[in-house]
Amino acid sequence: MELRQIQYFICLFEEGTATRAAKRLNIVQPALSMQIAKLEDEIGQQLFERSTQGMHPTSAGRRMYRLFLPIMRDFLHAREQLLQKEGELSGHVNIGMIASIAHGVLTDALREFTALHPNVNVTVVDGYSAMLADWVTGGRIDAAIINRPRRPLGLNMDYIIDEELGLITSVEANQHLPAEVSLQGTTELSLVLPTRHHGLRGILESFSQAENIDLTPTLETDSVTSIIKLVESTSFASILPRSAVHRRLERGRLQWRSIVSPRLIRQVVCATHPRRPLSPATAVFMATLTSHILALGPLYSKITGK
């Protein structure tokens, strides 16, 4: 089993077709197919089922991907650090973020980082906190900014901030509401919230259950962008983190009301694997993201000593 064969296998697994994988690897398709066939012969198992629609991994292929992806990432990180010139960052950053945080800070952070470190390639994916944590565990990404899980996951959880969740409405709608409302009071409104698969909804459900409140929305969608646009143009209301809407609040396109009974707080953390140190480029990028989150200042309540 050669390192090159593992690299080819991972690429084919991720691309789904030999044509796309060969293009990504910058090799001819027969060379890719030959190496995959040799790999299957060596381990005595079929890794892919061939069809006109592409290459579909077998159970053996999925197991091999889980086992070798972290190893390949560690190898690539080590190679990047050896090739890196002193004082110059290079390589590939591959991280995840929950969309509600990315919506508020990612663009500015990417602009700053790429201007300072043009030789680093950056990949950022968004998703649910639980999914991103699983990807860090499995080695698909190197780090993730997520809501703090309610149960231990065997990952390092570096505290970033506590963030308030509040009621958002359009400028025209629900003008009768006071500046501060109770969680019970929000149930009288037409709410649009994330689904129960979403980390934000899980946080809201934990607060509502503790208060014995039935938080049943009229509409559900996991797209934070869609929620914001819907609230902005209709009489629907939502409960979201301030970071997700701060730009629209500054422009006077939405209204914010604090929820004070109880106060809704989520804790945002950076999840990393305890046995996989971050590459220098990834560490710098995560520091850049964190600085942009904290630069929002009054939107967050920074707790010292954590």
- Report the C-alpha gap between 300 and 306 in whole angstroms: 15
CB atoms inside a 10 Å sphere around CB 14:
13
Pick the CATH number of 87-159+268-298 from 3.10.20.600, 3.40.50.920, 3.40.190.10, 3.20.10.10: 3.40.190.10
Residue 305: its pLDDT value, please? 35
Three-state DSSP at 45 gives coil
Residue 53: its pLDDT value, please? 76
**The CATH number of the domain covering residues in 3-82:** 1.10.10.10
Same fold, 3-82 and 161-266: no
Residue 301: its pLDDT value, please? 45
State the CATH class of domain 161-266: alpha beta
The tens place of each residue's pLDDT in the chain, 306 residues long, gives: 788 888 888 888 888 888 888 888 888 888 888 888 888 888 888 898 888 777 888 998 888 888 888 788 777 767 766 666 666 778 889 999 998 888 888 999 999 999 999 989 999 999 889 899 999 988 889 999 999 987 777 899 999 989 899 999 999 888 788 999 999 999 999 999 999 888 899 899 999 999 999 999 999 999 999 999 999 999 999 999 988 888 888 889 999 999 998 999 999 999 998 888 888 889 999 999 999 988 875 544 433 333
pTM: 0.70
Three-state DSSP at 152 gives coil
- Report the C-alpha gap between 165 and 222 in whole angstroms: 16
Question: How many CA atoms lie less than 13 Å away from 161 in the CB half-sphere?
Answer: 22
- Report the C-alpha gap between 139 and 21 in whole angstroms: 20
Burial class (CB in 10 A: 0-12, 13-18, 19+), 305: exposed
Cβ atoms of residues 153 and 133 within 8 Å:
yes
Q: Is the dihedral of CA 295, 299, 305, 306 positive or negative?
A: negative
CB atoms inside a 10 Å sphere around CB 141:
26
Q: Where are the domains of the chain?
A: 3-82, 87-159+268-298, 161-266
Residue 6: its pLDDT value, please? 87
Rounded to 5 degrees, what are φ and ψ at 187?
Answer: -70, -15
With a CB cutoff of 8 Å and minimum separation 6, the contacts of 116 are none
| CA-closest candidate to residue 164, choices 185, 183, 190 | 183
| Crossing angle (nearest 10°) for helices 242-250 and 224-233 | 40
Beta bridge pairs of residue 239 = 167
Beta bridge pairs of residue 56 = 49
